[in-house]
Structure 1
Amino acid sequence: MATRTSWGKLQPLRKPRALPPPDRVWAEREWEIIRCGHVPADMDDKWFAFVEHDRLCLHRSWTGDQVFQADFQPCDRGWQIVKAAVESRRRWYKRKYEVPDRLTLELLIDTVLLGTYDEVRWRHLWKLQ
């Protein structure tokens, strides 16, 4: 289980900007995996993630800078994000627009935390940028 202290020095969102949460609902089993977080295995692993009080925090592993946060809550079919934010200062994250950032958050959860890679959706994201 990754915690805030599982990785080096972490920086919180410096200038958070609200992000419309993805419409997706994650199943209970997926939420159990997401809650475990992610500690990078090597230098090619670019993300560190942990959950505190149902809030997912995604940090860049090399710098410790937080890029996304997502507040989850239970719903009828599992868990959903009810509030999300992205770093808005370009010095720390070259954010795009709401749609690509929203999709990036969802794809990072799938790829980094759940271990599933959807090449079609990633290609769609690259076209949006």
Structure 2
Amino acid sequence: MRDWLTKVQPMPRQRVELPYSREFSPEELRALARGLLPEDFDDRWVGLLREGSIDFHRSWTGYHIHHLPLERGPGVAGAVATKLVVNRDPRQYRNTDPQRDLEQVEWLLRWMLSGERHPPPWPLHQAG
């Protein structure tokens, strides 16, 4: 089930930056470090906490869909995300709705932080 690791790709040049603001506590960073790893064929996402970012890839293709750069600094115990970078290559990701991107990242973060799969906030046939 770890074949997804060989498929992980960089973010394409076709991308957009969306305003996003979220602070992650040290406890949340520890939870994020566990990652969001596919356990079966139906798990379509990989979430990785890297040095300086949280990244979400599609598990079947490895396409890099969402990138949250993280900043650490004075007065921040954990880390802060100040923007969301989203893949806009239509061959890799069909969604073009910024609100949907923000909802999707929040859903993926909730899954990653809790370790429990939650139903997506949109119909499954629109999973992008």
Both structures adopt the same fold (TM-score exceeding 0.5): yes
Label 1:78 to 1:53 Cα distance change in 2 as closer, same or farther (>3 A).
Answer: closer
Match of 2:79 in 1: 79
**TM-score normalised to structure 1 length:** 0.75
Match of 2:18 in 1: 19
1:118 and 1:10 map into 2 onto residues whose CA distance is: 24
Pairs aligned (count): 119
Match of 1:34 in 2: 32
AA in 2 matched with 1:55: S
After superposition, residues 1-129 of structure 1 pair within 5 angstroms as: 7-14=5-12, 15-21=14-20, 23-74=21-72, 76=76, 78-116=78-116, 122-123=120-121, 125=122
- SS of the equivalent of 1:63 reads coil
RMSD (Å) for aligned C-alpha atoms: 2.6
Where do 5+ consecutive residues of structure 2 fail to align? none
2:35 and 2:4 map into 1 onto residues whose CA distance is: 10
- Contact 2:32/2:112 (CA < 8 Å) preserved in 1? no
Deviation at 1:46, TM superposition (A): 0.9
State the identity %.
25
Deviation at 1:56, TM superposition (A): 1.1
AA in 2 matched with 1:79: A
AA in 2 matched with 1:39: L
- SS of the equivalent of 1:8 reads helix
Deviation at 1:8, TM superposition (A): 1.7
- Contact 1:47/1:112 (CA < 8 Å) preserved in 2? no
Deviation at 1:118, TM superposition (A): 6.0
1:97 and 1:11 map into 2 onto residues whose CA distance is: 22
Deviation at 1:33, TM superposition (A): 1.2
Deviation at 1:98, TM superposition (A): 1.5
Where do 5+ consecutive residues of structure 1 fail to align? none
Cα deviation per residue 1:50-105 (whole Å; 9 max; x = unaligned)? 22222111100000111000012246474321232011112211123222211211
1:47 and 1:111 map into 2 onto residues whose CA distance is: 10
1:7 and 1:118 map into 2 onto residues whose CA distance is: 23
